[in-house]
Amino acid sequence: MGAKALHLQWGSSMKKALPGSKVPFLERIPGDNPKPWDFRADEVVDAVNEGAKLGHELTKYEPHIMVLQELAEWMRRYLEEGITDKFLDDLNSDLHQVRYAKYVVPMDLLPSDTGFPRELYVAEFGHNPTPEAIAANDFSRLLSSGELKRLKSCQQRDCQNFFLGPPQAKWCSKTCGSKHRVRKKRRKDSAR
Ligand SMILES: [Zn+2]
């Protein structure tokens, strides 16, 4: 799942919304059609991990990698600080760059239970939106969806991956778990 998966097309995927969100949210980058914000938390986490790896090889300005790095920073802060007032103040300060516009849309575009058109919001990014603004918009959607309650960072020392797992999970993968056990055994053996 690459970083590109983050930008889905306007279409049938509109029907999907994040759990807990009744009014759909879309986003629009200038010069582009509005796109639904309906990617899943695990896709974002995968993209952020990939972005962290690509980030080390960056030779030129790559806005979408910058967005992923900003998202990684928000995830790291969320795990370290929790949702403090300061955390939300900083998030809201980055969100100030985003304007939301409300639209009422045709029913063939957005199915309706009532027989009347529904409303939705589009995050309108100005010209040359900063990676901070895009990341803050993405992160705020994830945070308010509740999906980040399973967010963790891998405890294996040389792996910095984020992952979604149950409360007791420590490693992002079986590989990291066995690496950890090998290291622990070596430490024990050399202490003999
Ligand atoms: Zn790992």
Mean pLDDT computed over 109-137: 87
Distance 56 CA to ligand 1 centre (A): 18
The pLDDT of residue 22 = 65
Model confidence over 31-72: pLDDT tens digits?
777 777 777 899 999 999 998 887 667 667 778 888 999 999
Domain assignment of residue 93, yes or no: yes
Helices 85-95 and 63-81: angle between axes, nearest 10 degrees: 160
| Short-list 156, 87, 117, 154, CA closest to 24 | 117
Distance, CA of 86 to CA of 8 (rounded, Å): 32
Gyration radius of the chain's alpha carbons:
19
Mean pLDDT computed over 106-117: 85
The pLDDT of residue 11 = 42
The pLDDT of residue 143 = 94
Domain assignment of residue 22, yes or no: yes
Distance 160 CA to ligand 1 centre (A): 6
Distance 5 CA to ligand 1 centre (A): 22
Domain assignment of residue 171, yes or no: no
Instruction: Say whether pTM exceeds 0.85.
Output: no
The CA-atom distances, in angstroms, between 184 and each of 20, 154, 162, 192 are 42, 16, 22, 13
Domain assignment of residue 183, yes or no: no
The pLDDT of residue 169 = 93
Is the pLDDT score of 114 beyond 80? yes
Mean pLDDT computed over 98-116: 86
Distance 94 CA to ligand 1 centre (A): 30
Distance 166 CA to ligand 1 centre (A): 15
Distance 175 CA to ligand 1 centre (A): 7
Mean pLDDT computed over 118-131: 85
The pLDDT of residue 125 = 83
Distance 176 CA to ligand 1 centre (A): 5
Domain assignment of residue 91, yes or no: yes
CA 167 to chain centre: 20
Distance 180 CA to ligand 1 centre (A): 9
Domain that holds residue 31: 3-153
Q: How many domains does the chain have?
A: 1
Domain assignment of residue 166, yes or no: no
Distance 154 CA to ligand 1 centre (A): 5
Is the pLDDT score of 94 beyond 70? yes
Model confidence over 135-172: pLDDT tens digits?
999 999 899 889 999 999 999 988 989 999 998 999 99
The pLDDT of residue 58 = 66
Domain assignment of residue 85, yes or no: yes
Token readout for 64 is 């979408």
Distance 64 CA to ligand 1 centre (A): 23
Domain assignment of residue 21, yes or no: yes
The pLDDT of residue 187 = 81
The pLDDT of residue 8 = 35
Distance 61 CA to ligand 1 centre (A): 27
Model confidence over 2-27: pLDDT tens digits?
333 333 333 444 444 444 456 677 88
Distance 68 CA to ligand 1 centre (A): 18
